[in-house]
C-alpha cells in the first residue's frame, strides 16, 4: 500500500511539473498585445508553429537550445492548428522536451485565417513564423527556419 | 485524514493536468474546404468532409442552390485532410462518371493515403473507396490532385516522401518531397503503378493539374530549386511517358525553409500553352500571373495582381478560348473578398480588378468553373454557405 502511494505521489509530482509548461492558453485576436504587455522590457521570441509543418519542430528545438543559453529571453510558442487538435499538440510538446520553460498558446478563434491577419497582415500563413523582440521590443519577423548566424548576431545585441 | 487530503489534492492535480486537452471537441462546424464540379446537365456536384466522412451532394444551378441529401463515400470515419491546401477533390468525366479523391491522415505525422471512389451511374451510387498508390508505407502520400481528360483517362497526383525516406536511410541528402502520379484507363476500376514526376517538390502545397484532349496531363507545383528556392515547376505527362521533363515556371526566388501552404493555379491557354497563377512570399510577397509557352516552355514576365497587404492569395483560373478569368482571395478588416480580373486576349492584357463576392466570417479558397462559356465563382463560407455566382462579363 505504502509503495503504491509513493508511486502515486511521484506520478502526481511528474504531472504537476508538466502542467506549467504545457497547458495551452487560448490565443485570440487580443493575445498578441497581451503577450507583448506581459513581457515588456524583456527580450522575447514568439514562435508560431503547426503539427503539419515539418520544419517547425526542428525550429522549436533550436529555439529551446538558444533560450537555454540566453535565459533572459522569454519563449512563447503559439500553435496554429486550432482547438480540435489540443490533445495532440500537448502530446507533441511533451515529446519535444524543450530544455526551458515556455508559454504555450493555441489558436482559439473559429476563423484562423482572420486571427493570423490580426497578428500580422504581412504573414501569409507560411510556417514556422517567428517574431524576435529585443529588450525594447524592437521587432523582427522571420519566416522559415532561423539562420543560426543571424540568431547569434541578434543575441549579441540583447 | 491527512492522507485522504493528500490523495484528494493529487487527484485534483491530475484532473488539472488532463485539462490541457479540455478544448477538444469544440465544434466550429464542418470544414469549409470543398471541391465542386459541373456535370453536362449543369448540375453542381460538391465533395466535402464532415465528421470524418467524405460527402458528395448535388444541386441544380438555376436559381439559388439547393443540395440533395449527401452520400457518404467512406464507410468508416477517417481523419481527412482539410487544412491549408488539403481538400477532397471531385471531377466529372464527359460520360457522366464522377470521381472523388481525398487524403486520409495516418497516425505518423505528415503521413497519409490517397483514396479514390467512383460513380458510374451518374452519382446514384459510389464504389467502395480504394487506395490509389501501391506503396502502403505509413509515410507522406498527401495533397491529392485529380483530373480527367476528355478521352476519359484519370490522373491522380500527390506529394510523396518515399524517396526522402530512402535517401535518409542511405544517409544521403534529399530536399523536399516528390511528385508522384497514377493513371486509370478503365474509368477508375483500377490504377496503374504510380510513377514519379519530380524529386524535390515542396512538402505542403497543392498541385495544379489539367488533362488534355489527347489524354496527356500538365502539372504545376511548388518546387525546391537549388539553394532552397521555392519557385514553381511544370511538367507535361505524355500518354506513355516514363520520365517527364521538368520546366521552371516561376522565378520569384523565394528562399525559405518553411511550409508555405500555398499552391498554384493552372488553366489551359489557346493552342500556345497555359495560364499560371501563384503566390510568392518574402520581400516581394504577392500574387502573380504569367503565361507559359507549352512548346518552348518559356514563361512570360510575372505580372502582379491584388494587394499583398490584404493577403492576396489562393488564386483560381479558368479559360474559354482567349478569355481568361483570374480570381483570388483578400482580407479586409471585417470581411473576406474574392477579387477578379478578366482578359480577352489570352492573358496579355487585363481589365481592372473587381470585387465579385464578399463574406464575413470564415471562408474557403475561391474556385472558378465554366458553364455555357461563362465563368462562375464557387466559394464556400461559414455564414453565406456555398456562394455560387456568375462572374460579370
| Per-residue confidence band for A7, with pLDDT thresholds at 50, 70 and 90 | low
Exposure on the CB side of residue B75, measured as CA atoms within 13 A: 5
**What is the per-residue pLDDT for A8?**
53
Is residue A20 pLDDT above 80, yes or no?
Answer: no
CA distance A142 to chain B (A): 10
Nearest to A23 among B13, B20, B256 (CB): B20
| Per-residue confidence band for A54, with pLDDT thresholds at 50, 70 and 90 | confident
Structure pTM? Answer: 0.90
Report CA-CA distances (Å) from A53 to A127, B83, B84, B279.
6, 12, 11, 18
SS (H, E, C) chain B: CHHHHHHHHHHHHHHHHHHHHCCCCCCCCCCCCCEEEECCCCCEEEEEEECCEEEEEEECCCCCCCECCCEECCCCCCCECCCCCCCCEEEECCCCCEEEEEEEECCCCCCEEEEEEEECCCCCCCCCCEECCCCCCCCCEEEEEEEECCCCCEEEEEEECHHHHHHHHCCCCCCCEEEEEEEECCCCCCCCCCEEEEEEECCCCCCEEEECCCCCEEEEEEECEHHHECCEEEEEECCCCCCCCEEECCCCCCECCCECCCCCEEEECCCCEEEEEEEECCCCCEEEEEEEECCCCCECCCEEECCHHHCCEEEEEEEECCEEEEEEEEECCCCEEEEEEEECCCCCCCCCCEEEEEECCCECCCEEEEECCEEEEEEEECCCEEEEEECCC
How many residue pairs bridge chain A and chain B with CB atoms within 8 Å of each other? Answer: 124
The phi, psi pair for A22, rounded to 5°, reads -115, 5
**What is the per-residue pLDDT for A143?**
95
* Closest-approach residue (CA) in chain A for B142: A52
Chain B contacts of A111, Cβ < 8 Å? Answer: 361-362, 382
A113: part of which helix (H) or strand (E)?
Answer: helix A112-119
**B138-154: pLDDT as tens digits:** 999 999 999 999 999 99
State the angle between helix axes of A86-96 and A56-69 in degrees (0 to 180), rounded to the nearest 10.
50
**What is the per-residue pLDDT for B322?**
96
**ipTM at complex level:** 0.85
Nearest to B311 among A112, A124, A129 (CB): A124
Nearest to B336 by CA among B312, B317, B354, B360: B360
Q: Hey, CA dihedral for A2, A7, A12, A17, is it positive or negative?
A: positive
Report CB contact under 8 Å: A125, B204.
no
Nearest to A9 among B10, B203, B331 (CB): B10
Report CB contact under 8 Å: B83, A128.
no
Is residue B17 pLDDT above 50, yes or no?
Answer: no
For residue A53, the SS3 value is coil
**What is the per-residue pLDDT for A6?**
56
Chain A contacts of B334, Cβ < 8 Å? Answer: none
Chain B contacts of A114, Cβ < 8 Å? Answer: 331, 336, 362
**B186-233: pLDDT as tens digits:** 999 999 999 999 999 999 999 999 999 999 999 999 999 999 999 999
Amino acid at each position: 500500500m505504502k509503495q503504491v502511494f509513493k508511486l502515486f505521489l511521484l506520478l502526481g509530482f511528474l504531472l504537476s511539473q508538466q502542467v506549467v509548461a504545457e497547458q495551452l492558453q487560448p490565443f485570440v485576436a487580443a493575445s498578441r498585445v497581451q503577450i507583448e504587455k506581459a513581457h515588456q522590457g524583456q527580450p522575447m521570441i514568439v514562435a508560431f508553429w503547426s503539427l503539419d509543418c515539418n520544419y517547425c519542430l526542428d525550429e522549436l528545438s533550436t529555439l529551446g537550445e538558444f533560450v537555454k543559453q540566453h535565459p533572459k529571453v522569454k519563449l512563447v510558442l503559439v500553435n496554429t492548428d486550432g482547438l480540435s487538435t489540443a490533445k495532440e499538440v500537448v502530446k507533441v510538446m511533451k515529446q519535444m522536451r524543450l530544455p526551458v520553460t515556455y508559454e504555450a498558446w493555441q489558436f482559439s478563434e473559429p476563423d484562423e485565417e482572420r486571427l493570423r491577419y490580426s497578428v500580422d497582415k504581412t504573414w501569409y500563413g507560411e510556417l514556422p513564423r517567428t517574431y524576435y523582440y529585443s529588450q525594447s521590443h524592437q521587432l523582427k519577423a522571420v519566416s522559415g527556419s532561423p539562420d543560426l548566424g543571424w540568431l547569434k548576431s541578434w543575441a549579441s545585441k540583447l | 485524514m491527512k492522507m485522504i487530503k493528500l490523495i484528494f489534492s493529487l487527484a485534483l492535480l491530475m484532473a488539472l493536468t488532463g485539462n490541457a486537452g479540455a478544448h477538444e471537441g469544440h465544434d466550429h462546424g464542418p470544414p469549409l474546404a470543398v471541391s465542386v464540379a459541373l456535370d453536362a446537365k449543369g448540375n453542381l456536384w460538391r465533395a466535402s468532409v464532415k465528421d470524418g466522412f467524405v460527402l458528395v451532394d448535388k444541386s441544380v444551378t438555376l436559381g439559388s442552390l439547393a443540395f440533395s441529401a449527401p452520400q457518404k463515400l467512406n464507410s468508416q470515419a477517417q481523419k481527412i485532410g482539410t487544412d491549408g491546401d488539403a481538400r477532397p477533390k471531385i471531377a466529372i468525366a464527359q460520360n457522366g462518371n464522377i470521381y472523388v479523391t481525398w487524403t486520409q491522415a495516418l497516425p505518423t505525422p505528415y503521413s497519409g493515403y490517397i483514396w479514390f471512389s467512383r460513380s458510374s451511374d451518374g452519382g446514384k451510387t459510389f464504389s467502395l473507396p480504394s487506395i490509389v498508390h501501391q506503396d502502403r508505407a505509413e509515410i507522406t502520400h498527401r495533397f491529392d490532385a485529380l483530373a480527367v481528360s476528355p478521352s476519359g483517362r484519370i490522373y491522380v497526383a500527390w506529394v510523396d516522401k518515399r524517396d526522402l525516406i530512402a535517401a535518409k536511410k542511405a544517409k544521403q541528402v534529399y530536399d523536399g518531397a516528390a511528385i508522384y502520379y497514377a493513371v486509370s484507363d478503365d474509368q477508375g476500376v483500377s490504377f496503374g503503378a504510380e510513377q514519379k514526376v519530380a524529386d524535390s517538390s515542396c512538402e505542403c502545397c497543392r498541385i495544379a493539374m489539367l488533362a488534355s484532349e489527347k489524354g496527356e496531363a500538365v502539372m504545376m507545383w511548388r518546387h525546391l530549386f537549388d539553394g532552397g528556392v521555392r519557385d514553381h515547376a511544370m511538367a507535361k505527362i505524355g500518354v506513355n511517358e516514363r520520365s517527364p521533363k521538368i520546366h521552371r515556371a516561376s522565378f520569384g526566388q523565394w528562399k525559405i525553409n518553411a511550409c508555405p501552404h500555398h499552391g498554384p493555379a493552372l488553366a489551359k491557354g489557346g493552342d500556345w500553352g497555359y495560364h499560371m497563377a501563384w503566390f510568392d512570399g518574402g520581400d516581394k510577397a504577392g500574387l502573380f500571373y504569367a503565361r507559359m509557352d507549352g512548346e518552348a516552355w518559356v514563361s512570360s514576365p510575372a505580372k502582379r495582381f491584388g494587394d499583398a497587404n490584404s493577403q492576396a492569395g489562393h488564386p483560381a483560373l479558368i479559360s474559354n478560348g482567349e478569355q481568361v478569368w483570374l480570381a483570388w482571395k483578400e482580407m479586409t478588416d471585417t470581411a473576406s473578398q474574392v477579387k477578379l480580373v478578366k482578359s480577352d486576349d489570352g492573358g496579355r492584357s487585363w481589365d481592372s480588378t473587381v470585387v465579385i463576392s464578399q463574406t464575413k466570417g470564415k471562408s474557403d479558397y475561391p474556385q472558378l468553373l465554366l458553364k455555357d462559356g461563362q465563368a462562375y465563382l464557387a466559394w464556400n463560407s461559414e455564414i453565406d454557405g456555398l456562394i455560387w455566382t456568375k462572374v460579370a462579363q
